[in-house]
Structure 1
Amino acid sequence: MQRRPSEARSKTTTEGAPPLGRYHDVGGRRLLLHRSGSGSPAVVFLAGGGTVGLDYLNVQERAAEFTTSVLYDRAGTGWSDRARLPRSSAEVTDELRELLHTAGVPAPYLLVGHSLGGFYARHYAQRFPDEVAGLLLLDPAHEDYNAYMPQQLVEIWNAWDPDQALPDELPDELIQLYRGMFAQEMADWPAEIREPLIEYHVSLEGLKAGAQEASNVDRLNDELRQAGMPDVPLIVLTAVGIDSFKRAVSHGTPESLLHEEIEGKRRLYTALAESVSRGENRLIDDAGHVTITFRRPDAVLQAIRDLLGR
């Protein structure tokens, strides 16, 4: 990746200046956005819960070689200003729309949504179909996800309380575990990007923001069900590997259940792709849910190219 100087200098959700990007005022909040490249449709990356825009820099920069490419931090996450979390999908998609207009990024957009970002990408396309050229969903959240999962696994998830799971002070062994996993995935990233990202991911603030943002999942599910699925060109990338991040958050969960979850994902995302006229589900067998863009940027870039070609 190219090394670039910081373009913004204001203190926000994290301590210190963001390593890359510019601030734009949206509804009285400063939101961090990084834009590069030129051309249309613009590719816009929507981060997953617990991740931030710069986590997608490796694919965002390569997409900028052939079109406009944008990543950003939602309010309350990363280097954007604080906001009370959780928020509705309508709030998040309204915010993104205003941000893109304020930053002078014209529609149409190819939205690349990872995990929770997949919720928001779909809802944006449902609400503003004339502005969306296509959707690339990376292991996306889905309102029917639990219906495709083994009941034992759903019960484990339902018993998890994020408020109790995150103490007021993180154990050093947990910090070092996460630091090591992110350092491994970002080993060849420029240090001025890698180190601030890792510090965010091992901070209590970063972990809490990720948990809080997804804590209203039932409401998000209802919003998506009411809106329906837009008939736009769609590719889903399904991660069918089990990476170190998955094993860390699934400690104590039987291996068989982790494989049943993968099979459930495959069936769900295949059904999602088949619900539109130009949909496809592609299996990525050497990456997990968190590491799909770290380990397989080639698959993400190929899907972007394919969708732009349609």
Structure 2
Amino acid sequence: MVMKNNTNAYRSNQSLNSNPYFENLYNIDGRRLLLNKAGSGGPAVVFLPAAGMVGLDYLNIHHSISEHTTSVIYDRAGTGWSEQVKLPRSAQEVTGELRHLLNHAGIPAPYLFVGHSLGGLYAQRYAQCFPNEVAGMVLLEPVHEDYLTRTPKFKKRYLFSQSVAVLRTFLTYKRSFRGLYEHMFSKWPDAVREPLIEYHTRTFLKMNAEKKNLNTQLYRELRTGGDLPDVPLIVFTAMETDAMTSLVTSQSFLHEITEPFNHVKKTIYKNLANSVSYGEHRILENAGHASIHIDCPDEVVKAILDLLDKRVA
């Protein structure tokens, strides 16, 4: 059921009532979830946002893909313009909710998932639970359990400088983050840009809330969920430090961690890509983790189209 009224208390801007980007709410298990669909054909491409991010953050890629097939962006419950719930949530709950939402929206399987960071973990968990419904996956630096054991340990003096940098950022976070989001969404349509900037400026800490159970639950769900289905897979590694990380990280700490951390990332994601028959690892030299889809949109679109072409072939 599509609901065309935006009366939820979490909508701070009543002008969104007449904004088509924020209208498509579906009643799923008693909760209202925002989903936008564009284009036609299949398999449908479904974007799973990173922690703290929302569907409209990927509007640039969504528009490009809709010229070739059905493209879907959505907000998980507890995020964006979907109904608010207590965070964090299990991967099982998130993926089950997504499945119900896609069914209610009339978007048939199979799906090609584009999962970013935490969204990449959810994409893999969906593939474990419903392997026949997944046509392929493009994973943009998905969170991975191997980071817990393979990330280098750093000296205390760098950790101290990092703590100072975080404190300084949060003392001025509204000004700092608003400028960051203004830059990120500078090419977004007027009807979307300001609501997105205002949302992210108000809810920056939601990123931490969404992934609070990453180490205690989500990794375990994925580890014990079985093998991934043998579907086409492209995994991206971003080599640059994005603006988000630079805001909350001291320069000395960045200098210390960048090279060893990038080496670990490349190894982890190469191994993930090699876990299926048609897996490919691609490196983006000019992209940062939080902004892969903004720094290198053409490369992300190409990866999606490559998997769509393989599906057709």
Aligned residues: 294
Q: TM-score, normalised by structure 1?
A: 0.89
Can you list the C-alpha shifts for 1:62-106, whole angstroms capped at 9, x where unaligned?
100000000000000001001111110000000000000011110
8-17 vs 263-272, greater mean Cα deviation: 8-17
Pair 81,262 (structure 1): closer, same or farther in 2 beyond 3 Å: same
| % identical equivalent positions | 46
Corresponding residue of 1:55: 57
User: Would you say the 8 A contact 1:274–1:280 is kept in 2?
Assistant: yes
Q: Which amino acid aligns with 1:256?
A: E
Equivalence for 2:224 = 226
Q: After the TM superposition, which residues 141-290 of structure 1 pair with which residues of structure 2 at under 5 Å, given as runs?
A: 141-152=143-154, 171=171, 173-203=172-202, 206-218=203-215, 219-230=217-228, 231-251=230-250, 253-290=253-290
1:176 CA displacement:
1.2
Q: Deviations over 1:249-269 (max 9, x none)?
A: 223624121222111111100
Go from structure 1 to structure 2 and tell me whether the alpha carbon gap of 1:82 and 1:233 turns closer, same or farther (over 3 Å shift): same
Report the aligned-residue RMSD: 2.3
Shift of the 64–222 alpha-carbon distance from structure 1 to 2, 3 Å rule, reads same
CA distance in structure 2 between the partners assigned to 1:185 and 1:75 by the alignment: 24
TM value normalised by structure 2: 0.88
* Per-residue deviation, residues 129-174 of structure 1 (Å, max 9, x unmatched): 00000010001111222223112289x99xx99xxx89xxx64x22
What code does the residue aligned with 1:229 have?
Answer: D
Equivalent position SS for 1:224: helix
Contact 1:24 1:102 in 2 (8 A): yes
Question: Closer, same or farther in 2 for the Cα pair 1:262/1:25, shift >3 Å?
Answer: same
Q: Distance in 2 between matches of 1:257 and 1:98?
A: 41
Rounded to whole Å, the distance in 2 between the matches of 1:10 and 1:105 is 26
Return the letter of the residue paired with 2:149: A
Instruction: Report if the CA contact (8 A) 1:148-1:267 is conserved.
Output: no
Show CA shifts across 1:151-201 (max 9, x none): 2289x99xx99xxx89xxx64x22111111111122222222111111111
What is the aligned partner in structure 1 of residue 26 from structure 2? 24
Preserved CA contact (<8 Å) 1:73 1:79: yes
* Worse-matched range after superposition: 244-253 or 138-147: 244-253
Mapped to 1, the partners of 2:38 and 2:7 lie a distance apart of 21
Q: Please state how far the C-alpha of 1:211 moved relative to its aligned partner.
A: 1.1
Which runs of no fewer than 5 residues in structure 2 stay unpaired? none
- The CA distance in 2 between the partners of 1:278 and 1:233, in whole Å, is 5
Q: Which moved more, 1:245-254 or 1:211-220?
A: 245-254
Distance 1:283 1:8 in 2: 43
- Return the alpha-carbon distance in structure 1 between the equivalents of residues 78 and 10 of structure 2: 7
State the secondary structure of the residue aligned to 1:152.
coil
Distance (whole Å) between structure 1 residues aligned to residue 28 and residue 9 of structure 2: 14
Instruction: Specify the alignment match of 1:99 in structure 2.
Output: 101
Q: Distance in 2 between matches of 1:212 and 1:279?
A: 31
Secondary structure at the counterpart of residue 284 of structure 1:
strand
State the distance in 1 between where 2:108 and 2:155 align.
43
Comparing 224-233 with 10-19, which one deviates more in the overlay?
10-19
Equivalent residue, structure 2, for 1:135? 137
Cα displacement (A) at 1:8: 5.3
Q: Which runs of 4+ in 1 moved over 6 A?
A: none
Aligned partners of 1:140, 1:8: CA distance in 2, in Å? 34
